[in-house]
Amino acid sequence: MHPLRFSPALLAKRPPTGIDVETTLAHFALITYMVEPDALRAQVHERFELDCITGPDGTRKALISVVPFLDLDFRFARCPWPKFSFGQTNYRAYVTDSESGEHVAWFFGTSLASLFVNVPHFAWKLPWHGADIRFDTAYDREGKRYERYRMVTKSKWAPAEVELEDTGAAPVALTGFDDLESGLVLLTHPSRGVFYRRDGALGSYSIWHDRLRMTQGRARRASFALLDRLGLVEDGDLAQIHSVLLQPSTDFTIYLPPRLA
């Protein structure tokens, strides 16, 4: 994989318009797994090439992440009142668009703890699903680390349970990447997501956020039934975890509506 950089173009923000959404995300975590490429290949449209690394055992591995967070003040950019708060968890893989050469996130789907899930689910045919998501966290602002981070999701589609430790220190390296910045760009900064819509068509939407300043963590417990059902990670297995990254809050912009890819 060629080196990736946080270039001015990558970090530039397009002004929100129309029904674009802005929100502050709290308790943002990125739990990344190394998985067998053949198993992931079956889940991803043939247009997209898997972004792979060399794992600690010397074999080729693809990367997927579970991304839980709390939307603190979900609001429309043109009409910032009212604001809404709810939990959300994204399930994604890292791929390259063979048509554009762009590194993007392939979304398996999203759990959303809000009645608003009905809009993307039915109107836009997104693979978004209702859930009950609860966070139990304690953040030490002086130490700049989580003293406690737990999340539990009750859901027919993707029940989950995670407990993380936070070192409070920035990562110095990421397995399989020649340099830290390349790994951070790939894992933390895909600005476009693609997915199978519920009608089978290929959909896409874009987001913006500034460069994340995350700390390195460890997983005490990580149970994601969806990954087990897809044949990617055995439920509760910690051995396949590539990295755990945490950030207490960050601002996001979501450009809507989603479009056909």
Q: What is the pLDDT of residues 80-102, one digit of tens each?
A: 778 899 999 999 999 999 999 99
- According to the model, what pLDDT value does residue 173 have? 98
| CA angle, residues 213, 217, 219, in degrees to nearest 5 | 145
- Looking up tokens 């397009």 gives 14
Domain count within the chain: 1
Residue 142 domain flag: yes
Give how far the C-alpha of residue 97 lies from the chain's centroid of Cα atoms, to the nearest Å.
Answer: 18
Kindly state whether residue 166 falls inside one of the protein's structural domains: yes
Q: What is the mean pLDDT of residues 162-178?
A: 98
**Does residue 119 lie in a domain region?**
yes
Residue 2 lies in a domain: no
* pLDDT band for position 2 (cuts 50, 70, 90): confident
Maximum alpha-carbon separation in the chain: 52
**Which residue in this structure is represented by tokens 């530039």?**
12
Residue 116: its pLDDT value, please? 84
What is the domain extent for residue 196?
A: 20-260
Q: What is the pLDDT of residue 255?
A: 97
Does 113 map to a domain? yes
CB 217 within 8 A of CB 245: yes
The CB density around residue 144, as the number of other CB atoms within 10 Å, is 14
Query: Is residue 1 situated within a structural domain?
Result: no
The answer as to whether 72 is a domain residue is: yes
pLDDT for residue 79? 80
What's the mean per-residue pLDDT of the chain?
Answer: 96
